[in-house]
Amino acid sequence: MLDAPIASQTKVYDAIIIGAGIAGIYQLYRLRELGLSVRVFETGSDVGGTWYWNRYPGARFDSESYTYGYSFSEELLQDWSWSEHFSAQPETLRYLNHVADRFDLRRDIQCNSRVSSATFDDATNQWEIALDTGETHRARFLITAIGPLSADTMPRLAGVADFKGQSFHTYRWPKEPVDFTGKRVAVIGTGATGVQVIQTIAPLVGHLTVFQRTPNWCTPLNNRPISDEEQRQIKGSYPELFALLRTTPGCYVHNVDPRGTFEVTEAEREAFWEQRYLEPGFGIWQANFHDMLTDPKANALFSDFVARKIRQRVTDPAVAEMLIPKCHGFGTRRVPQETRYYEAFNQPNVNLVDIKATPLERITETGIKTSDASYEFDMIIYATGFDAITGAFSRIEVRGAGGQRLKDKWADGPKTFLGLQSAGFPNMLTIVGPHNASTRCNIPRCIEQNVDWVTDLLRHTRDNGITRFETTPEAEADWTRHIDELAEGMLYTQIDSWATGINSNVEGKNVRRILQYQGGAPAYREKCDAVAAAGYAGMVLE
């Protein structure tokens, strides 16, 4: 199936995959099974994607470990033993390296290779990608596996480069150990990442100052090691477990409670919420009363419950009030899962600065200046997040048929078909792309669905001699409208967050957009399967 090289130094593959994270690794495995020639280009110096980059202290799963690993190989499932219910980053990175070695995937992965542009050639129906080094490669098909949270963003503040101490964005954490002993440390940002960092380093540092712009509703992770007996149970029930995960909206073990908040007595409600608060993982968010994320009254009542917990756990009432969100209800932004996060603020060496009240003005040579004080630090940690979901696409110059830029096409929000294709960009597939169910999902589960669907499509093209496929503008418009309709009535989409495309650190990212499929993974899977079963309805295959 290989085409002849265009120029002697330009290699031509059946498929090029951008990214060697969870999605890229699995896509390579599947396409190799099909007998295609595949090359993966990866920016990092090794495989792992998210788990390669996010080495910051405290980085770990919020999904149960045994629901997160790949499901495609029973031998892999049986051989790999997760050590904790919610495993930490080093173990996950070891796991992904194990997968790459076990299935001999490395020989098709080229690391230290950032893709700077991807251009569709109408004459040959091929994609040409260029690396930062100037090297170019060609392929019939282009598959982006670039992750929804891989374009890290720094605050647009004066003086960032002036700081003379150590400073890190959490996503760019160094491979070498970082010593916190006796240091005066600042953390900017209190999202899921900031929370994990803060609770982990609070006992290690000399002094910690947390700069919080928006508090988040955080609930206990309740992590613990996996016992031998639990390990046996897990390994003995993987088929049943994965069958269950296919039925829940987010592919977690947790499923929405069918009862409404006001259908039970106050005592029953409190008891149910107390139980959820003590249970491990996202159950409190994903397995709450069914109306918690759609009925503002139900949402407010549960938010009050969590606020009471925060007040119980934080000794200084003024600090507790600062930590309680006032502008959004529980679960309308990504819920950080915590382990003694709130107790960190009871330590004498930890203080909290409300930068909505006293905004950051600049970074100085020795620390941070807000509107009312100057602080001196040895280290500044930027837990300031990502240009989410579409940001990684913006950082590659993607040009489709007729030279159209993806950046221009998506300037007012993404337009896609199934969150996997965009009209005018033939032969390109976007795993975990915008409008896809995967970013509201226990992500490897939705990645496997995306990859399997893409693999079936490429098998179909191979078997039928198809060299070009493309979604139609009509199918794309229908899907994009469907995405908007599903979002109606969701409290989640009425709040500023990375999930609604807001990022104060990126020009133009100040308008809320619907970036995610809100209908749940089972419905999304059905839609994708129906398209395939109808001979790829909504697409033109030539």
> Least distance to ligand NA7 from the beta carbon of 335, Å?
9
Tell me if 335 contacts ligand NA7 by CB under 6 A. Answer: no
Tell me if 269 contacts ligand NA7 by CB under 6 A. Answer: no
Among 174, 176, 213, CA closest to 385: 213
Pick 237 or 510: Cβ nearer ligand NA7: 510
Tell me if 384 contacts ligand NA7 by CB under 6 A. Answer: yes
Pick 126 or 503: Cβ nearer ligand NA7: 503
Tell me if 191 contacts ligand NA7 by CB under 6 A. Answer: yes
Among 508, 396, 493, CA closest to 435: 493
Q: How many residues does the chain have?
A: 542
Among 27, 126, 144, 190, binds ligand NA7 (CB under 6 A): 190
> Least distance to ligand NA7 from the beta carbon of 20, Å?
19
- Contact window for ligand NA7 (CB under 6 A) among 74-82, 187-195, 230-238, 417-425: 187-195
Burial letters 275-297, b for 16+ CB under 10 A, else e: ebeeebbbbbbbbbbbbbbebee
- Are 261 and 301 in contact by the 8 Å Cβ rule? The answer is yes
Cα distances (Å, whole numbers) of residue 288 to 50, 260, 426, 448, 523:
28, 9, 42, 26, 20
Pick 48 or 191: Cβ nearer ligand NA7: 191
Among 60, 269, 328, 334, binds ligand NA7 (CB under 6 A): 334
- Contact window for ligand NA7 (CB under 6 A) among 122-130, 137-145, 184-192, 409-417: 184-192
DSSP 159-172: TGGG--SEEEEGGG
CA atoms within 13 Å, Cβ hemisphere of 1:
23
Among 1, 130, 155, 168, binds ligand NA7 (CB under 6 A): 155
Tell me if 440 contacts ligand NA7 by CB under 6 A. Answer: no
CA atoms within 13 Å, Cβ hemisphere of 39:
21
Tell me if 192 contacts ligand NA7 by CB under 6 A. Answer: yes
Contacts with ligand NA7 in 493-532 (CB under 6 A)? 498, 504-505
Helix (H, G, I), strand (E, B), or coil: what is residue 207? strand
Among 24, 69, 385, 444, binds ligand NA7 (CB under 6 A): 385
Query: What crossing angle do the helices spanning 521-533 and 443-463 adopt, rounded to 10°?
Result: 0
- Contact window for ligand NA7 (CB under 6 A) among 11-19, 322-330, 378-386, 396-404: 378-386
The rounded distance, in Å, linking the Cα atoms of 352 and 511 is 29
> Least distance to ligand NA7 from the beta carbon of 53, Å?
11
Among 26, 44, 12, 22, CA closest to 142: 12
Among 504, 451, 485, CA closest to 72: 451
What number of chain residues touch ligand NA7 (CB under 6 A)? Answer: 21
Tell me if 48 contacts ligand NA7 by CB under 6 A. Answer: no
- Residue in the shown chain whose Cβ atom is closest to ligand NA7: 191
Pick 213 or 409: Cβ nearer ligand NA7: 213
Six-digit token string for 55: 């080495």
> Least distance to ligand NA7 from the beta carbon of 271, Å?
30
Provide the binding-site residues for ligand NA7, judged by CB under 6 A. 149, 155, 188-194, 213-214, 334, 355, 360, 383-386, 498, 504-505
